[in-house]
Amino acid sequence: MSAVFPISASETRLSDSSELLEQLDSELTRRNDYTSKRQNKADSVKVLLLADSLGPVSRYLELGDLQGGLNADSAIVMFSQGFKAAMSVGDSVMAQRFLIKRATELCKLSSTPDAMNDIVNVAQSGVYPENRALFYEVGRNLYYTMAEVFEGTAMRDNYIKPGFKYAKELQSALPTDSYDARLNLAMMYFAQGNDAMFLACLMDLSEEIPESYGNYSMVLTALGGRQCVLGATDEAVSNLAKAALRDVRAGDRHGTALIRLGVALYDAGDLARAHNYLSVALEEALAGGAKTNSMMISAALMPVSQALREQERTTFIMLVGLIVCLCGVALLLWNLYRSKRRRTRELERIKQQLAKANQSKEAYISEFMNLSSSYMEGLEEFNRITRRKLAAGQVDDLLNIIKSGKMIDEQRKKFDDIFDDAFLAIYPTFINDVNALLAPEKRVVTPAKNVLTTELRVLAFTRLGVDDTAQVARFLGVTLNTVYTYRNKLRNKAIRRDTFDADVMKIGIIV
């Protein structure tokens, strides 16, 4: 009967029901143990029945009730055999009870016309007083179930009204203020559309009934369904979980609490649990032959499966996005690391260049001191020769020495050698750097390693920032025209004539 009460969407977050859901998760793993326990009990009754075919007819009823929660087909067979056994011994009351019981199982198999046919046959033959309560209860449930099938259509009233009549008759057949009477009263309020009283009756009843009460699961399932409609999701899930726990522990495969709970959890956003509960419910319904439940589950499972697939797809996309982001971050970090290493190496190179520059500066100073010392020695030597020649009256010899220029050439040779060593110590790649600025076929060839040609010395003075052409000419012992000629000659050999002078000034700069 819980199938009668629909569930609407709700986004309420679950809180207090979490412990019950965890308990249900644990019990669902043991559901086969509970169904086996019920099956073993049924098998024990069947053994007694086979051992004594003339035994009490009530054993068929007990076996049918046990099979009723396990397999609808087996239950129908038992009730049918019980009907024949009762008729064979002339027990019309019990035979009628078997027909009423069989109608319930036929409804589970979606054989509603056959179920109604059994009910109609019982009504036409007259209901025995002993069977009145059971008859009206089964009739009520049957018509209410059909009313739900046609929910939202004009056909609904064709079933809800007869169902209400059965409920009304049942009310008079039940003991006043009994649990069954109070449950039936709630059903009557539901048929009349009085939701407030329907909910109030169920809430009061749920607080009093023990778990051993036969319709315990039905009460909590109906209450949970109505609470879902009202948006009280946490309370609804708690009641539906309690009902589902009762069904599982009773080994009942035909209960609808787990189905309703799965739908409620889907509405609450717990897709994984909803899918698991509906899948388990479908497995149990198929094993128990409950086709009506199977159709309900199929309709409920489709959107849950679709939403779960969409969630998994979204999760997959997010995971891929996260991986891409992580790869991007890793690549960025790797580039930063490489950049830092490159910068570190560059700084190390600059440090080494600065160290070499310092060494070159020291070497240059040392060479400058050597050059100065050489000039001083040459000057002292010239003074000695001059003094000796004048004292000896050898003026003509002194004049010949001066005219020959031998001493000047020796000093200039020393100057060139010391200048080349000092300059190339500061700019060790000067010759290669200059040739890189010249056309390949016009590059300068030096007479020996670490020796500059005169035109390279002119360029070397330019690199040192000596712009006075006359001063360069004096240092090198050449004419002004020679300096201009060498400069123009090298500029004409350059790959880029317009920027040649600027390019030369960049040689040896630390960047």
According to DSSP, residue 438 is labeled B
Amino acid identity for residue 259 in this structure: I
Place of tokens 């011994």: 89
Domain end among 224, 254, 289: 289
Determine, yes or no, domain membership for 352.
Answer: no
Secondary structure in 3-state letters for 12-42: CCCCCCHHHHHHHHHHHCCHHHHHHHHHHHH
What's the domain range around 117?
A: 2-289
Local confidence band at 372 (pLDDT 50, 70, 90 cut-offs)? low
**Maximal C-alpha separation, the chain:** 178
CATH of the domain at 46: 1.25.40.10
Is the model's pLDDT at 12 over the cut of 70? no
Local confidence band at 351 (pLDDT 50, 70, 90 cut-offs)? confident
Determine which of 34-38, 49-53, 112-116, 239-243 has the lowest per-residue pLDDT on average: 49-53
Sign of CA dihedral 253, 254, 258, 262: positive
Determine which of 128-132, 171-175, 182-186, 395-399 has the lowest per-residue pLDDT on average: 395-399
For the segment 248-269, the average pLDDT, to the nearest whole number, is: 91
Determine, yes or no, domain membership for 302.
Answer: no
Determine, yes or no, domain membership for 480.
Answer: yes
Determine, yes or no, domain membership for 399.
Answer: no
Is the model's pLDDT at 354 over the cut of 50? yes
Determine, yes or no, domain membership for 411.
Answer: no
Closest C-alpha among 75, 18, 20 to residue 243: 20
Local confidence band at 184 (pLDDT 50, 70, 90 cut-offs)? very high
189: left (phi over 0), alpha (psi -120 to 50) or beta: alpha
Place of tokens 């559309």: 193
For the segment 255-274, the average pLDDT, to the nearest whole number, is: 90
Q: CB of 176 within 8 A of CB of 145?
A: no
Coil, strand or helix at 494? strand
What contacts 24+ positions apart, CB below 8 Å, involve 143-147? 144/1, 144/4, 144/187, 144/191, 145/1, 145/3, 145/4, 145/107, 145/112, 145/292, 146/112, 147/4
For the segment 445-449, the average pLDDT, to the nearest whole number, is: 83
Sign of CA dihedral 361, 362, 365, 370: negative
Beta bridge partners of 494: 438
* pLDDT score recorded for residue 288: 87
Q: CB of 398 within 8 A of CB of 385?
A: yes
Local confidence band at 15 (pLDDT 50, 70, 90 cut-offs)? low
Percent of the chain with pLDDT over 90: 37
* pLDDT score recorded for residue 132: 95
* pLDDT score recorded for residue 365: 56
Determine, yes or no, domain membership for 101.
Answer: yes
How many CA atoms within 13 Å lie on the side-chain side of 237?
A: 32
Q: In total, how many domains does the chain have?
A: 2
Determine which of 231-235, 380-384, 445-449, 456-460 has the lowest per-residue pLDDT on average: 380-384
- Cα 430 to Cα 385, 412, 441, 452, 471: the distances in Å are 40, 22, 18, 10, 22
* pLDDT score recorded for residue 388: 80
The tens digit of pLDDT for each residue in 207-225 reads: 999 999 999 999 999 999 8
Distance (Å, whole) CA 181 – CA 209 = 13
CATH of the domain at 491: 1.10.10
Closest C-alpha among 473, 483, 423, 481 to residue 452: 423
Is the model's pLDDT at 292 over the cut of 90? no
Determine, yes or no, domain membership for 152.
Answer: yes
Beta bridge partners of 438: 494
Q: CB of 97 within 8 A of CB of 61?
A: yes
* pLDDT score recorded for residue 10: 36
According to DSSP, residue 175 is labeled P
The tens digit of pLDDT for each residue in 109-134 reads: 888 889 989 898 899 989 999 999 99
DSSP string for residues in 337-392: HHHHHHHHHHHHHHHHHHHHHHHHHHHHHHHHHHHHHHHHHHHHHHHHHHHHHHHT
500 or 375: whose pLDDT is higher?
Answer: 500
For the segment 65-92, the average pLDDT, to the nearest whole number, is: 92
Domain end among 269, 289, 309: 289
Local confidence band at 477 (pLDDT 50, 70, 90 cut-offs)? confident
Coil, strand or helix at 195? helix
Q: CB of 102 within 8 A of CB of 76?
A: yes
Structure token digits, residue 470: 């006359």
* pLDDT score recorded for residue 375: 58
pTM for the full predicted model: 0.62
Local confidence band at 200 (pLDDT 50, 70, 90 cut-offs)? very high
> Which residues, including other chains, have CB under 8 Å from residue 338's CB and lie 6 or more apart?
none
Determine, yes or no, domain membership for 327.
Answer: no
Local confidence band at 368 (pLDDT 50, 70, 90 cut-offs)? low
Distance (Å, whole) CA 411 – CA 474 = 13
Closest C-alpha among 129, 83, 124 to residue 105: 83
Our measurement of the distance from residue 284's CA atom to the centroid of its chain's CA atoms, rounded to an integer in Å, reads 33
| Torsion angle in degrees (nearest 10) through CA of 144, 145, 146, 147 | 50
For the segment 388-392, the average pLDDT, to the nearest whole number, is: 79
Is the model's pLDDT at 330 over the cut of 60? yes
Domain end among 245, 265, 289: 289
